[in-house]
């Protein structure tokens, strides 16, 4: 209610996750906090609240008051844009190389002083991995219930990879469509309402 009253241009909400079980909320190894049902309910409530307030949903957890406030970094990333990150823990994607900078400031500085790139790990993506990356970011970063041109652009996909999305991931798309997790329209494939509630689980279908 307070967020709606303040009317910020951008709104992001985060699902709580006690990943390491180290907070005071952690009760026992068999308990999950908050329960899955509560997390889903809060997600639904947040989506309904901001959509009713006139916001445009641009991803499962992000909303904007107008198209001029779009998350350009995420849109660029989802459309196969290259990113060169500088600084500790930076994540880059450049010429089909996906790599992470050192997480340690000491190691980062030492490598720079030696005239070396402060990269901790990296990987050159083959074509299948590039297509998978494109799909995952397209679904996770640009799907929204009331946004235009969201999700995976089939025409752009074919232009980049020289193969139709329909044939590249035929079985996976059919299965997700059957489960009601995606909305497969003429030009775009995006997360459905159900898929927006399970964005991580949905894209797991594309991992090997």
- Chain segment 165-197, per-residue pLDDT in tens: 999 999 999 999 999 999 998 899 999 999 999
- Residue 150, φ and ψ in degrees, nearest 5: -105, 155
Whether the predicted pLDDT of 21 surpasses 80: no
pLDDT at 192: 96
Give the confidence band of 123 by pLDDT, cuts at 50, 70, 90: very high
pLDDT at 14: 85
Whether the predicted pLDDT of 25 surpasses 80: no
Residue 207: both structure tokens together? 């991992």
pLDDT at 19: 59
pLDDT at 74: 87
pLDDT at 30: 66
* Cβ-based neighbours of 79, under 8 Å, separated by 6 or more: 138, 153, 156
Whether the predicted pLDDT of 138 surpasses 80: yes
Q: Which of 59-63, 70-74, 187-191 has the lowest mean pLDDT?
A: 70-74
pLDDT (mean) for 142-156: 92
* Cβ-based neighbours of 101, under 8 Å, separated by 6 or more: 85, 86, 87, 88, 89, 90, 91, 92, 108, 118, 119, 120
CA nearest neighbour of 158 among 183, 194, 134, 123: 134
pTM recorded for the entire structure? 0.85
Whether the predicted pLDDT of 24 surpasses 90: no
CA nearest neighbour of 122 among 103, 101, 95, 106: 101
pLDDT at 29: 61
Residue 84: both structure tokens together? 């060169």
Whether the predicted pLDDT of 27 surpasses 70: no
pLDDT (mean) for 29-57: 88
Give the confidence band of 18 by pLDDT, cuts at 50, 70, 90: low
């Amino acid at each position: 209610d307070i967020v709606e009253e303040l009317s910020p241009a951008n709104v992001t909400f985060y699902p709580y996750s006690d990943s390491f079980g180290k907070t005071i909320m952690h009760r026992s190894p068999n308990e999950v906090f908050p329960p899955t049902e509560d997390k889903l309910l809060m997600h639904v409530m947040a989506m309904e609240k901001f959509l009713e307030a006139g916001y445009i949903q641009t991803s499962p957890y992000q909303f904007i008051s107008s198209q001029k406030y779009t998350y350009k970094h995420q849109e660029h990333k989802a459309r196969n844009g290259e990113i060169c990150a500088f600084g500790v823990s930076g994540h880059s994607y450049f010429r089909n190389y996906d790599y992470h900078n050192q997480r340690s400031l000491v190691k980062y500085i030492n490598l720079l002083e030696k005239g070396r790139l402060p990269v901790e790990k990296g990987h050159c993506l083959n074509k299948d991995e590039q297509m998978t990356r494109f799909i995952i970011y397209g679904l996770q970063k640009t799907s929204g219930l009331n946004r235009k041109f969201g999700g995976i652009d089939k025409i752009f996909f074919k232009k980049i990879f020289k193969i139709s999305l329909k044939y590249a991931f035929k079985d996976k798309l059919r299965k997700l469509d059957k489960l009601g997790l995606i909305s497969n329209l003429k030009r775009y494939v995006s997360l459905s309402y159900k898929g927006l509630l399970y964005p991580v689980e949905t894209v797991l279908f594309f991992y090997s």
